[in-house]
Amino acid sequence: MAMAGAYHGSGMSGAVAAGLSPQEIVRRLSDLYGTPEWRPHGDPLTELVLTILSQNTSDANSGRAFMRLRARFPTWESLMAADLAAIEEAIRIGGLSQVKAARIKALLEEVMRQRGSLDLSFLAELPAAEARAWLERLPGVGPKTAACVLLFSLGRPALPVDTHVHRVALRLGLVPPRTPPARAQALLEEWVPPELHYQFHVLLIRHGRRLCRAQRPLCSLCPLLDSCPHGQASGSS
């Protein structure tokens, strides 16, 4: 198993100080934040819409936007048939409502065009790679959104890289400097054992929110400090 900082995958190399395995990262962060329990909810379409609403906003605001959307449009069919202006109004609290409304409507229309219904339960029967490829062919669905559907709704191994996971992975040297999120996701999915994808993802998000923050990270409190190039370079402030 490659160690943190070894820049695993694609022949890339570049050592940092003492490295950590994915298992050790999960163990240390679980000691601090608790062990996340993987409970897939089995609703791919809900996850798709939630992930679109979560873009560039807080979990609280995206959650409110989703609840208002479902209250206004109780069925996916009624949402698909709605005017864009009505969708925009329902999700306005989540920000970027014009962009997100258009994406959601286009997504639903394309699913209906391809499948003749808005039922995505068939994805659970496909091999993970085929399910991911099908999802990524939908409008507005990239690697992160597809991975969210696989992980949170279908219970399949996948490791979505959001802004927190990306930041923590870069600071720890788990991926090379300036690696874009989609590439970081591919590298981390290869490096982290599939059975740890969920815990690794959730724990890096918790860590990015609480200690490894974008501004003024609390490096001196970090359980990964001894193997973090960024924390060591910053003087553990």
Number of residues written out for the chain: 237
Q: d(Cα 161, Cα 143) in Å, to the nearest integer?
A: 9
Q: Tokens 């553990």 identify what position?
A: 236
Question: Which of 28, 144, 156, 197 does the annotation list as catalytic?
Answer: 144
Active site residue 105: no
| 34 torsion bin: left (phi>0), alpha (psi -120 to 50), beta (else) | left
Q: d(Cα 150, Cα 44) in Å, to the nearest integer?
A: 8
Structure tokens at 209: 């929110």
Provide CB contacts within 8 A for 123, sequence distance 6+.
Answer: 44, 131, 134, 135, 149, 154
CA 230 from chain center: how many Å? 23
Distances in Å between the alpha carbon of 18 and those of 224, 225, 231?
A: 10, 10, 13
Question: Where in the sequence numbering do the catalytic residues fall?
Answer: 144
